[in-house]
Amino acid sequence: MPNEVNKYLGPHRIIGPGSYELAPYPIVGKWESEIKFGGGYNTWGLNEGARRGEGGPSNIREVAKPNVVAEFMNEQIHNQAAIDHDYGARFNSLLADIARELQEKKLLASGAQALGAAESAVTDQHVTLELIESKRQQYIALAPEIYGLYGQSPYFLMTLLSSNKINDFFNSHNGNNPREVLMALFAQFDHVYQSAMELKALSLSTTFLSGKLADLALQVEHVQGTANDAVVYQRMDIITREQDIHAQQLPEFLHIEFATAAGSVKGMTASEALNHFTQTLEGMAASKIAEINPVYAPPPLSRGGITFHYPAENPKIKAPLSKPELEALNELVSLQTHTQLGVKWLSYHDALLKTESARYLTLTGNVFGSLAERAKQAEHTIRIANTFRAPGASSATSPLFMTSAGTVAVIDAAAVTLQAAIRSAVAALGSLAAGTASGLLVGVSALVYSPKLANGELPERYAFSMPLSDLAPALGQDLSAVAAASGTVDLPVRISSKTAADGQSEVFVAKTDGVTVPSKVRVVVATFSPEQNVYSVTTDDVPARTLTWTPIVHPGNSSTTSPAEQPAPTVYTGATVTPVVGRIDAFPGLAEAGFDDFITVFPAGSGLPPLYVMFRDPREDAGVATGMGQPVTGIWLGAAAQGEGAPVPSQIADQLRGKEFRNFRAFREAFWRAVANDPELAKQFKRQNLSAIFNGKSPFVSTSERAGAAVKFELHHKVYVSRGGAVYDLENITVVTPKRHKEIHRAEE
């Protein structure tokens, strides 16, 4: 009897007299040439039918014949076991291997130079993010390969899928060389299963790397200390990248459920959205746990006086599961529920699916909660950096520079000179004949920061205000009515800023022409806050910017004496305003200068006149280059005179991506130097132009593509900076000729 038991039962465990517990084992049945979920090897042990040697006469042949399908299946099972063995060793050393790969990339990124603590921390963070992105791209490319057998994931169905394919082979015409077809079939089995194991390795690697991101961010913040504007915005960008990485770690079916449950977060700040996501994930996890039903062992099977018992849990599917494995389990439960695959261990599979889903949702929710706290801190810093306070009395009579640290100290003589410079610039531009002022400007002042201040102490963003009457003395519209209608007015000139050759920020006046410099400027109304005793305006852009003015006349009081509790705006002494001698200059970048301005009107009786307010051009802000660029062939700048212009070549993007630039001027110089050092692109330029771009200057265009004083190629933002377009996004930047640049902006009017 023992020999007979071993012969017919295969792997088993004796649990009592005449009682045995069987391991999952496929059985052979009649094959039909389509995917079936009953009776044969394709049951994968999920059906509760007769076991090998216990079925009817159809399964026991009178004459012993070799079972060809079984022999080939044994070969496939052997090959699969070999792959499992190889990857088992790899999984055991996976974390050590990834840590070593990460360290090698860090050393490569730092090169031979010794990095300071801050640079080292930032490098570690960027290298980790880049490695995660590399793994993600590999995952995306490999994922379709695992579905090569009937479009099903192979993790828990490999025996079923391969046996179906083998039976298909024997029931199909295989041409003149069936051996090659069969060998190709086995190669396909290996490829699918190896791809599945490699996908699991990539998933585990990404999970390991993403787990380092929070600590890396804390290290960067610790060594950077007080952050300047650019650093804070970089932190927000990192938070967004981490959010995307962790969301992508969710199995696809959970990601879809999450996106549906979360809904729109339009209008929320980053921290508000992350808190909303956290609550959504926590609610989903709780629902998954509540839906878990009891797990039951498959019913015992009795045949010929022998009872077969099954364990309650499928020994081949155990937690924790990687992302692709959990996706495969979700598919398996669906097949067991909605097809004839068989229901053995279904209660266990369903419970494990919900338990593992809750684990993924909880982990992601915890990460999002931490990201929300970091975002809240960064938003607070940004809010402070974008709040500008000014004394009403000074604002009503003279030009004023405002930073988040206070108004810039301007001595009386300098203030008078600056006001005179602005009036002179307006008059000079107004005297030019129509059509001749396009692309021209008059510089009126430079904002010079003290070189003694550390970067973290520099309030880099500033606002500039002046009485509207200095720009448009003849403007006779009812501005309060325009503001109530959220309308605009046409101004003859507008003010913006640019980075001068010495790196300082220069304010200039430009004549409007409706094309290069649009003339329409929005009008907004300031409101009074009794609690703070200030008039204020808050913009609706992101991030929001708030300006406040102390009253000249306290509302409800005709006296010009303000209340004692009136806040005194801080005077910032870390910068000086230097009026410059106004001269008319050409500015190639004027076609897309960031004219970020508006007119503020105050309630009647406030004592404050309408003010023109301008914010510094965002292109003066520091930033990090992002984007992949595009592959280019042929004459690269041949497209600069057409459409949106010539894209940033991918090989140039590779050199610029991830680098931080003090301002867009520095980026532009680095861009052209990278072009000059690229052998394929450099040979497309004449000697004179090549000399220019080696020095970071734009090359000249042909005479037919010039526009007045603009004679060089220009960098164009497809989504204008003035409309929120990303300054350093290489996907948003193209190269255009001055003529084409002007045509693009004219078409937008």
Per-residue HEC secondary structure of 570-588 comes to CEECCEEEEECCCCEEECH
Residue 748 has pLDDT above 60, yes or no: yes
Asked if pLDDT for residue 60 goes beyond 60, the answer is no
User: Angle formed by the axes of helices 229-248 and 178-210, to 10°?
Assistant: 140
CB-CB contact of 536 with 548 (8 Å): yes
Amino acid identity of residue 344, one-letter, is K
Percent of the chain with pLDDT strictly greater than 70: 79
pLDDT of the residue at 588: 53
CA 718 vs CA 548, 592, 616, 671, 734: distances in Å: 33, 10, 20, 17, 7
* Cα–Cα distance measured from residue 632 to residue 485, given in angstroms and rounded to the nearest whole number: 48
pLDDT 10s digits, 483-496: 999 999 999 889 88
Task: Output the pLDDT for position 50.
Answer: 44
Residue 657's pLDDT is 85
Residues 604-628, mean pLDDT to the nearest whole number: 87
What are the distances in angstroms from CA 420 to CA 135, 447, 470, 635? 60, 17, 9, 49
Residue 175 makes CB contacts below 8 A (sequence gap 6+) with: 181
Structure token digits, residue 564: 């004692």
Region 359-383: mean pLDDT is 95
Q: What is the pLDDT of residue 21?
A: 64
What gap in Å lies between CA 646 and CA 741, rounded to an integer?
12
CB 444 within 8 A of CB 405: no
The yes-or-no verdict on residue 41 having pLDDT over 50 is no
- Which two tokens mark 576? 């000086």
16-30, 111-125, 240-254, 416-430: which is most confident = 240-254
Alpha-carbon distances of 178 from 77, 173, 175, 191, rounded to whole Å: 21, 8, 6, 20
State how far the Cα of 643 lies from the Cα of 645, in Å rounded to an integer.
5
Strands (E), 246-343: 301-303, 306-309
Contact 412, 398 (CB under 8 A): no
- 3 state DSSP class of 71: helix
Amino acid type, 65: K
Mean of pLDDT over the chain: 83
Instruction: Give the torsion sign (CA, 634, 635, 638, 644).
Output: positive
Q: In the numeric block, which tokens belong to residue 440?
A: 């021209």
For residue 348, pLDDT beyond 70: yes
Please state, in angstroms and rounded to a whole number, the distance separating the CA atoms of residues 40 and 29.
4
Range among 101-110, 331-340, 568-577 with highest mean pLDDT value: 331-340
Cβ count within 10 A of residue 233: 20
Distance CA 355, CA 343 (A): 19
Pair of tokens at residue 20: 């045995």
The answer to whether 149 and 161 have CB atoms below 8 angstroms apart is: yes
Question: Three-state DSSP class for 743?
Answer: helix
pLDDT band at 384 (very low <50, low <70, confident <90, very high): confident
pLDDT band with cut points at 50, 70 and 90 for residue 58: very low
Contact (CB, 8 A) for 253 and 329 = no
Cα–Cα distance for residue pair 549/537, rounded to 1 Å: 9
Ranges 290-304, 449-463, 577-591, most confident: 290-304
State the number of CA atoms in the 13 A half-sphere of 176 facing the CB: 0
Q: How confident is the model at residue 187 (pLDDT cuts 50, 70, 90)?
A: very high
Res 433: pLDDT: 57
* Band of residue 575 on the pLDDT scale cut at 50, 70, 90: low
Q: How far apart are CA 706 and CA 552, in angstroms?
A: 50
- Residue 439: pLDDT band with limits 50, 70, 90: low
DSSP structure class, residue 620: G
Residues contacting 135, CB < 8 A, separation 6+: 202, 205, 206, 209
* Of residues 114 and 717, more confidently modeled: 717
**What are residue 350's phi and psi, to 5 degrees?**
-65, -45
**Mean pLDDT on 30-42:** 38
pLDDT at 5 over 80: no
Please check the confidence at residue 323 and state whether its pLDDT lies above 60.
yes
Which pLDDT band, with edges at 50, 70 and 90, does 40 fall under?
Answer: very low
φ and ψ of 432, to 5 deg = -75, 145
**pLDDT surpasses 80 at 454:** no
Mean pLDDT across 634-652: 94
pTM exceeds 0.75, yes or no? no
Rounded to whole angstroms, the Cα distance separating 502 from 578 reads 14
More confident residue, 581 or 242: 242
Which of 141-145, 222-226, 397-401, 501-505 shows the lowest per-residue confidence on average (mean pLDDT)?
501-505
As a whole number, mean pLDDT of residues 472-482 equals: 88
Please state the domain extents for the chain: 2-30+42-382, 386-620, 623-748
| Lowest mean per-residue pLDDT among 479-488, 658-667, 680-689 | 658-667
506, burial (CB in 10 Å: exposed 0-12, middle 13-18, buried 19+): buried
Q: What is the distance, to the nearest Å, from the Cα of residue 431 to the centroid of all Cα atoms in its chain?
A: 48
Share of the chain above pLDDT 90, in %: 47
Q: What is the pLDDT of residue 35?
A: 40
Predicted confidence (pLDDT) at residue 407 exceeds the cutoff of 90: no
CA gap 690, 738 in Å, rounded = 19
Provide the 8-state DSSP code for 618. Answer: G
Q: Which two tokens stand for residue 377?
A: 């801190």
Q: E-assigned strands of 207-361?
A: 301-303, 306-309
DSSP run (H or E) holding 389: strand 387-390
pLDDT surpasses 80 at 37: no
Alpha-carbon distance of 129 to 116, in angstroms, equals: 20
- To the nearest 10 degrees (0 to 180), the angle between helices 178-210 and 158-170 is 160
Tokens at 386, concatenated:
């974008």
Instruction: Provide the pLDDT confidence category of residue 212 given band limits of 50, 70 and 90.
Output: very high
Q: What is the pLDDT of residue 143?
A: 96
A 10 A CB-CB count for 649 gives 22
Q: Given this structure, which CATH class describes domain 623-748?
A: alpha beta
Integer Cα distance of 107 and 105 in angstroms: 5
- Picking from 270-284, 310-324, 390-404, 541-555, which range would have the lowest pLDDT averaged per residue? 541-555
Average pLDDT over residues 567-586: 61
Q: What is the pLDDT of residues 215-234, one digit of tens each?
A: 999 999 888 776 666 678 78
- The residues near 644 (Cβ < 8 Å, ≥ 6 apart) are 716, 718, 734, 736, 744
Asked if pLDDT for residue 8 goes beyond 60, the answer is no
**Rg of the chain in Å (alpha carbons):** 35
Per-residue pLDDT tens digits for 70-118: 888 888 899 999 999 999 999 999 999 999 999 998 888 777 667 778 7
Q: What is the pLDDT of residues 415-433, one digit of tens each?
A: 567 777 788 888 877 776 5
Helix 229-248 to helix 270-290 angle (10° resolution) is 20
